[in-house]
Every structure is written in structure tokens, then in C-alpha cells.
Amino acid sequence: MLQISYIRENRDKVIERLAVRNFTQIELVDEIIGLDEQIRSTKSASESISAEANAAAKQIGDLMRQGKREEAEEIKARSGEYKEEVKLLLEKLGGLEEEFFQKIVQLPNLPYKDVPAGRTADDNQVVLEHGHKLMLPDDALPHWELAAKYDIIDFELGVKVSGAGFPVYKGKGARLQRALINFFLDQATDNGYREVQVPILINGESGFGTGQLPDKEGQMYYVGADDLYLIPTAEVPVTNMYRGEILKEEDFPIKNTAYTPCFRREAGSYGAHVRGLNRLHQFDKVELVQIVHPDNSYEVLEEMSTYVQSLLQKLKLPYRVLRLCGGDMGFTSAMTYDMEVWSGAQKRWLEVSSVSNFETYQSNRLKTRFKGMDGKMHLVHTLNGSALALPRIVACILEENQAENGIKVPEVLVPYTGFEWID
């Protein structure tokens, strides 16, 4: 959530940066500023009348002690009017604050200065490409056919048990999943991240804190009886570990990693591009979350991007890095890099990771702060990234490493799988 002090003091800049996102409800900015002015004037009036009421109460006591009952009674009668005025002002204030909240949560984060303008994924900038795309033969199989051929992922069985988008991993397919999870976690802890195990059900406060609510409410699975949501990513519970906390500046950077299953309704997703593992309702992911000093967050963003790329390099998968344009970024992000892996059989790029800097957008909602060297409280910057999401990584590993006698397991995973070939 944007800070009202920043909006108030930088109105034109806020409008300019929102235009980079193609945000069309620009009138909200002035409405929010106007409501803020009304809130502050109403608070001021309430406080002024309360001060008058307190002074009157003291005066009544003084007059009563002096035996001036008649004068005291006159002021006492006025005290009742003070109370009624304050009550009405507080009722007005409550309505204004609710209207203000409903409007300010509709504003997305402001794009960082390096974020390119653009409307769709076609306007994203390719930062770099790494590795060579293998020229697979024309009869190369897509991962869903390889999964059936070697009986390692059963999509139909998942439909029977739950529905489309809930595959069942079997035999070496399940072992490959577990190997990737352990490999990613080991790599993260070797790079200074603390592993945590977190709940996969969250309350509404946690969903609001990281920006999933109210923006993505329709994309999350909701357990109505308990008023809880299934997590769309480990980012939510991990970041919310610090909700309401005052942190120590010397503890930065705070680095956590977590493996969780993730759940997304993906409403409206259909067609060939979602076939097989390309888009699921339940999938496994290892997440990175950092909480850092505001002065260092973009340096940390670059470090996280480089780290995610190192995982793809170790898996020997060709990839590219995109800087997302304003129109393609998530609601809460100030800047995002996407990593995409080349799918040789499908002949297209598949997103496998997003690394984002949220600046103070999440921490303002979370009220996560630190006391600076200047003695004042400041909001932290939060960042997260997938390292990595498994489904499309598995898809590309199967497709890129297929051979006549089976599928070659990437060398770095063999100590985790215990086998070199899926055959």
C-alpha cells in the first residue's frame, strides 16, 4: 500500500509512475488526497473540541470549589454539547477513514525508474539470454507424452482424484520432484538463507499484508468454514512472519527460504498453453524472501536474479531474463525480473521464476519497520523470488534431456535422485 504522505507530497510523480503501468483510474489519486485532507481536518476539529471539553471540566471543578454553582451549571450544560459534537465528528471520521482505505488499496505499487512502459508481455525487455537452444528432432515429444511413456506423471489419475490441474507424480517422477526440492533448498541454505517451514493456510490479515487481498481474492482457494486461504506462494506466510515487528538495522539482510505446495485457482486458464505441467492448480515451489534496508534493495534484487540464474545454469537449461514492463508487472511489485526456460519440444519460453522488489508497498501494510541511525522509524523493503517453481522446470528437464533410451537426469540432481536415467 502506498504511503499517503508520499502521495500528498508527490502527486504529479505518482500520476506519472502510475501511467507507466497503464493505470486508468488516475482520478483516485486526487480523491485519496481529498479524503486525507478531510480526515486530518475532522481529527483536528475533534481534538480541538475535546480540548475545550477538558478545559470546561476543569473550570467546572474550580467554580464548584469556589461556591459558584450557577456559573458551573451553565458550563456543565455546554459540556453536553461538546460530547455530542465530538461523537458526531468521530462518526464522520470513521466513515471517511473507511472510504479512504477502500480507495487507497486500489492503487498499485509505483514502478521503479528502470521499469519500461508497456501494456503486455510483448513489451517486456529481454535483459540477457544464456545457453543454446537444443535443436530437437521433429519427432521430439512434449513433456506430457514423455510423462505417459515412462509412467512418471499421471494427469488423468489426478483428474479422478481432484480435477484438472492436480497431477499425480509416480516412481521416478516423484523422486525427481523430491530431488529438485532438496537441491533448491540446499543451494539456498548454502547461500545464506535460513530454511523455515510455514503453514500453507493463512488468515485474511496475512493475505492483505503481502497484497494478495483484496487484489487476487478470486485466484485463491478459500476455506469458508475456517475463514482461511490456501497459499498461492510461500512468500505470503514467510513475509508475514515479520508483520507488526520492529527490526534491528544490524540484522539486515534477513534471508529466509521455504518449500511449500502452492495453490492457485487460475480461473479462466484454458487452451494448449496450459497443457500438462504448464499451468497447475497445485504445484511445488521453493521461495526466497529477503527483508532489507531501503538503501540496498535494488542491489539485493540483482543478487537474487543472479542467484536464480545460477540454479538454471547448474541444471544446464537454456534461459533468458526479462525486465517486466509496467503493464505486465504484479500489482504489488516496483520492479520484477522473470526467468524463462526454453522448451525445446513446445518451441516456446516458459516462465519458471519471478524475482521482485516491493520496496515499502508490503511493509506499509505489514507495519514492518526498523529504527534507523537517525533514531526514527522507517519501513523496510521486501523482496522475493521463486528458486524455483517445479512444474515447468520438470517439463523442460524432460523435454531437453530426452534421448532414444530414456531421459538423462541433470548431473547435479543425480546425488539426490539416486539414478541417472528415467527409462
Residues annotated in the binding site, as ranges?
233, 264-266, 287, 351-354, 384
Query: Which contiguous run of DSSP H or E holds residue 4?
Result: helix 4-9
Spatial strand order of the sheet with 246-248 comes to: 246-248, 369-371, 377-379
* CB contact set of 274 (below 8 Å; sequence gap of 6+): 266
Burial of 156 (0-12, 13-18, 19+ CB in 10 A): exposed
301 vs 357: CA distance, rounded Å: 6
131 vs 71: CA distance, rounded Å: 90
SS3 assignment for 355-420: EEECCCHHHHHHCCEEECCCCCEEECEEEEEEEEEHHHHHHHHHHHCEECCEEECCHHHHHHHCCC
Binding residues for L-serine: 233, 264, 287, 384
Binding residues for ATP: 264-266, 351-354
392 vs 400: CA distance, rounded Å: 12
94 vs 252: CA distance, rounded Å: 37
SS3 assignment for 216-227: CHHHCCEECCCC
Helix axes 390-400, 172-190, angle to 10 degrees: 120
For residue 48, the Cα-to-chain-centroid distance in whole angstroms is 41
Amino acid 156 reads E
17 vs 326: CA distance, rounded Å: 9
Contact (CB, 8 A) for 243 and 366: yes
Q: 296 by DSSP, 3-state: which? A: helix
Helix axes 297-314, 172-190, angle to 10 degrees: 140
Half-sphere exposure at residue 50, Cβ-oriented, CA atoms within 13 angstroms: 11
Half-sphere exposure at residue 110, Cβ-oriented, CA atoms within 13 angstroms: 20
